[in-house]
Every structure is written in structure tokens, then in C-alpha cells.
Structure 1
Amino acid sequence: MISISLDKLAFIIERAREFDAEAAPVNEQERADSADDEIDDILEDSRRNPTYTELRTAIRDLNVDERSELVALVWIGRGDFTPQEWTQAVAAARERHNGREVGYLAGTPLLADYLEEALSQFGISGEALESGRL
């Protein structure tokens, strides 16, 4: 089952939600119309954002197994796997381990929503996350 502590998950979800709220929304048409320099500016602004930095640090501080589980949770929350396929989802995340999980996870739009959805599918409520208990 999930070995990442609820405290760590709650912190990551909180930071991801804060960052999503702070990040300026960019719709697909704006993205297509923007010059590459403008996209680079947006990415650079994200890198300097303290909330984004905290999110990346929290993810980077997880061990390899925890990062694999975090990726698996995102995939479950997104609907790529079901909770019954937990073992397969974690195995797939481990197979794809390439050292870029931090950027992948921190750059995932709706990261907090995907994590909360996955946890709810495992029967872990928002209240349990807030209190740090199952």
C-alpha cells in the first residue's frame, strides 16, 4: 500500500494547490500564439516562485520509492490506473524512473486534484490528510 506519510502528501498537495492558484492561467490558444521567448519567461517565473520551489523541494526530498508512489498516485487520480492496479502503477513508475520525476510532478497541472482523487479512491479523506492519520 501507500508508504508515503500523510504529512508529506498533505504538504505536497497544499503547495501544489497554492502554486496552481498563483500561476497565471495560459489557455491553449494563447500558448499557440505566444513566442517561445514568452513561454520561457513563464517557465522562468515559475522557477523563481517560492511556492513552486517548496513544491519541488518536497518532491525531491522523497526517496525513489516514494517518488514512484507519488507518480502512481497521479496516474490513478488521472484515471490511467485504478486502485486495484496499485502494484502495476508503482512498477510502471519505477520502470520509467529517469531522474526527472521532480520536474514532471511539479509541472503537472492539477497535481493536487489528481493526488486528492487518488487518495479518495483509497478511502483517505481530506480530514485524514489534515490530521495526518488514516
Structure 2
Amino acid sequence: MIEISPSKVVQVIFLSREGPVGAAQLHAFIDGLNEDEQAHLTAIAWVGRGAFEPEDYAEALATAFAEATTPTADYLTGMPHLAENLESGLEALGVDVTGEEEDLL
């Protein structure tokens, strides 16, 4: 189903919370992900903000691939509440990231 490691999503969450201080690092991190991982990251954020229901994840993923007209890093870093959307998306999809969060603290 989800083809991006939870630890990578958690890294994006932490970097996005750093605001302007982590902006360049966040952009570089997302740019460093492969196309599949970027699409999955986008789909998780969309589920988290309510644009798609968790059971429609496959549709969200297909839309992320089809509508990738701007660089994913630009799109996601411009998304208001990115960290919250990703957290909500992971939770809605039943992905437990407790261990990954502890590793980054």
C-alpha cells in the first residue's frame, strides 16, 4: 500500500516544523526522494487534510502521479499545515510511527 518508509515521512514532519530554519533541508530531503516516494508523501498529506478518505488511498496516489506538474518539494513546502496533514494521514491510514518519532528525538 504505502511505499515510503514511515521514518522518511516522520523526517519530513520534523523538518517542516522547523519553519524557515529547516526549509532548505526540507526541500532538499523531499527532492532526494524518488518519484514513487514523493507521490506517496503527497497522497498521505491529501488523506490527512481530508481531500481523500483512507480507503481511497489508491486514487489519491494515482492523482498524485497524474497531477505532478510542479516539483513535489515546491508543492509540499507550500502546503499550509504540512506536518499536521502528514500526521493525520498516517494516523488515518493506520501507520504507527511511535518508534520513528523516538529515534529522531
Normalising by structure 1, we get a TM-score of 0.71
Match of 2:88 in 1: 117
Alpha-carbon shift at residue 69 of structure 1 (Å): 0.8
**Is residue 2:61 matched to residue 1:103?**
no
Q: Distance in 1 between matches of 2:46 and 2:88?
A: 10
**Is residue 2:24 matched to residue 1:53?**
yes
Runs of 4+ in 1 over 3 A off after TM superposition: none
Structure number with greater Rg is: 1
Normalising by structure 2, we get a TM-score of 0.89
For structure 1, the 5+ residue unaligned runs are: 20-48
What does residue range 1-134 of structure 1 map to in structure 2 within 5 Å? 1-19=1-19, 49-131=20-102
Q: Distance in 2 between matches of 1:131 and 1:79?
A: 27
Aligned residue-pair number: 103
Alpha-carbon shift at residue 101 of structure 1 (Å): 1.4
For structure 2, the 5+ residue unaligned runs are: none
Alpha-carbon shift at residue 54 of structure 1 (Å): 0.6
Q: Distance in 1 between matches of 2:65 and 2:54?
A: 17
Q: Distance in 2 between matches of 1:84 and 1:128?
A: 25
Alpha-carbon shift at residue 99 of structure 1 (Å): 4.1
